[in-house]
Amino acid sequence: MIRTFRLKAEEIEESADMPARTGSATWEGTLKGGKGSMKLGSGAYEGPFSFLSRFESGTGTNPEELIGAALAGCFSMALSANLEKAGHPATRVVTTANVKLEMLPGGPTITTIELDNESQVPGIDAKAFQEQAEATKKGCPVSRALTGTEIKLNARLKS
């Protein structure tokens, strides 16, 4: 039997509302000839993006890459919390998100995100680990925000 735990707001902080997070972007010029910049409200990142960095192989970032990082970070943190609450604290959780952008009849669409996870979790068996990983994939806040996108998971225990 698997026990799934959800992090409740009161477990984070009893008295305050969860803060709103911000990100911003500026685009100048035409789609193919223009350029843009994106930044996080925290100031932790600011960088360029362009048509080439988004749809081809140019330098800079793109919205899909940032979505991938957000999902990988959310999943890793939530899996660590769920494993700890199940009595198996992880020593390391590493996740990469591969975001697939495809041209569909309605326009470019994020169709699939593949999470590739490798975790070190002393004392847990493979079945219990897989159950926690699947439950986390469905329950982390960023996964829930991306419900229109198929999210696949490849989670492995590393010794």
Among the listed residues 106, 97, 37, the one whose alpha carbon sits nearest the alpha carbon of residue 67: 97
pLDDT of residue 85: 96
Summarised one tens digit per residue, pLDDT across range 123-158 is 999 999 999 999 999 999 999 999 999 999 999 999
Residue 3 has pLDDT above 70, yes or no: no
Judging by beta carbons within 10 Å of its beta carbon (0-12, 13-18, 19+), is residue 57 exposed, middle or buried? exposed
Residue 107 has pLDDT above 50, yes or no: yes
Element (H, E) at 37: strand 35-40
- 125 phi-psi bin (left φ>0, alpha ψ -120 to 50, beta other): beta
Summarised one tens digit per residue, pLDDT across range 81-95 is 999 999 999 999 999
The torsion defined by the Cα of 108, 68, 19 and 144, in degrees rounded to 10, comes to 70
Summarised one tens digit per residue, pLDDT across range 14-39 is 446 788 999 999 999 999 999 999 99
pLDDT of residue 16: 61
Q: What is the residue-wise DSSP string for 91-118?
A: SEEEEEEEEEEEEETTEEEEEEEEEEEE
> Going from the N-terminus, what domains does the chain have, and what CATH number goes with each?
24-61 (no CATH), 63-159 (3.30.300.20)
pLDDT of residue 44: 94
